[in-house]
């Protein structure tokens, strides 16, 4: 089904490489960012935290956006400071900034099918952070599980916001694009539960009577069980769970042809 679109819903800054990979397998990529990522108006707290990186035993990035926002202020990663990430997307973002397992200690969940904070925490010896400082770099809002778990283990945890997330406005251009994509069966790569909930809100605003039914008829490709659960709660049934990483997303698209 080569004419069926592959809709990439990541923020635009992280969508390019995946769009190229989709085109590389002969499919038509459509970039439709469902979350808009913007820098904070006041970045002084982020800059202050990054200036003190050498004081931390671990710096955890919750997403590729957190990595990119932090490295906009960094010339190099300080030696000896361990990094934690929750998935292959964040590891790839680090690599784009020159930070890999060859020059830094990077902790990541070992199973790409379980790329989340719970499995990052499970992969760590939390006792080693007792009495030591840990920094979590994230968006303006987010889950408190990682911070709470590290504090329970005795760590001195700081969190800092690095960016702001918002849903796109349903203007005329987005309305036309969504209408066209929902009119035919397509493959939708959904990499965030927040983005999926936003998509559901947009299609219901676009078509209050049948918008959600049209979304439920689409094939969703998701990298995490939490997103799959969100999709099922929205009534979607055509869902492929892949695990973290672009290679697995592309393999799922190919296997569904």
Model confidence, pTM: 0.76
The alpha carbon of residue 6 and the mean position of all alpha carbons in its chain are separated, in whole angstroms, by: 18
| CA pair distance 199, 232, nearest whole angstrom | 14
Is-same-fold flag (5-35+168-255; 38-165)?
A: yes
Q: Indicate the CATH number for domain 38-165.
A: 3.40.50.10090
Sheet containing strand 187-189, edge to edge, reads 28-31, 5-8, 187-189, 219-222, 239-241
What pLDDT, on a 0 to 100 scale, did the predictor assign at position 12?
Answer: 86
pLDDT at 13 over 90: no
pLDDT at 140 over 90: no
Domain regions of the chain by residue span: 5-35+168-255, 38-165
Give the burial string for 215-230 (b: 16+ CB within 10 Å, else e): bbebbbbbbbeebbeb
Residue 255: band (very low, low, confident or very high) from pLDDT cuts 50, 70, 90: confident
| CA pair distance 250, 236, nearest whole angstrom | 21
- CATH top-level class of 5-35+168-255: alpha beta
| CA pair distance 43, 30, nearest whole angstrom | 32
The string of pLDDT tens digits covering residues 208-253 is: 999 999 999 999 999 988 899 999 999 999 999 998 788 899 999 9
């Amino acid at each position: 089904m080569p004419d069926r679109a592959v809709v990439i819903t990541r923020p635009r800054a992280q969508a390019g490489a995946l769009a190229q990979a989709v085109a590389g397998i002969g499919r038509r990529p459509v970039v439709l960012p469902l979350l808009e990522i913007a820098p904070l108006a006041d970045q002084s707290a982020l800059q202050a935290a990054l200036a003190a990186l050498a004081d931390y035993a671990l710096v955890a990035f919750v997403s590729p956006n957190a990595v990119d926002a932090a490295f906009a202020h960094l010339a190099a990663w300080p030696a000896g400071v361990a990094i934690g990430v929750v998935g292959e997307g964040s590891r790839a973002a680090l690599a784009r900034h020159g930070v890999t397992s060859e020059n830094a200690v990077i902790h990541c969940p070992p199973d790409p099918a379980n790329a989340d904070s719970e499995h990052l925490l499970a992969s760590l010896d939390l006792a080693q952070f007792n009495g030591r400082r840990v920094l979590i770099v994230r968006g303006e809002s987010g889950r408190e599980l990682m911070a709470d778990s590290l504090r329970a283990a005795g760590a001195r945890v700081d969190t800092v916001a690095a960016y702001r997330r918002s849903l796109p406005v349903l203007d005329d251009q987005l309305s036309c694009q969504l209408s066209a994509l929902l009119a035919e069966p397509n493959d939708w790569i959904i990499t965030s539960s927040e983005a999926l909930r936003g998509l559901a809100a947009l299609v219901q605003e676009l078509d209050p009577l049948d918008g959600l039914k049209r979304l439920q008829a689409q094939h969703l490709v998701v990298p995490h069980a939490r997103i799959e659960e969100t999709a099922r709660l929205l009534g979607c049934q055509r869902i492929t769970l892949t695990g973290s990483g672009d290679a697995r997303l592309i393999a799922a698209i190919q296997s569904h042809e």
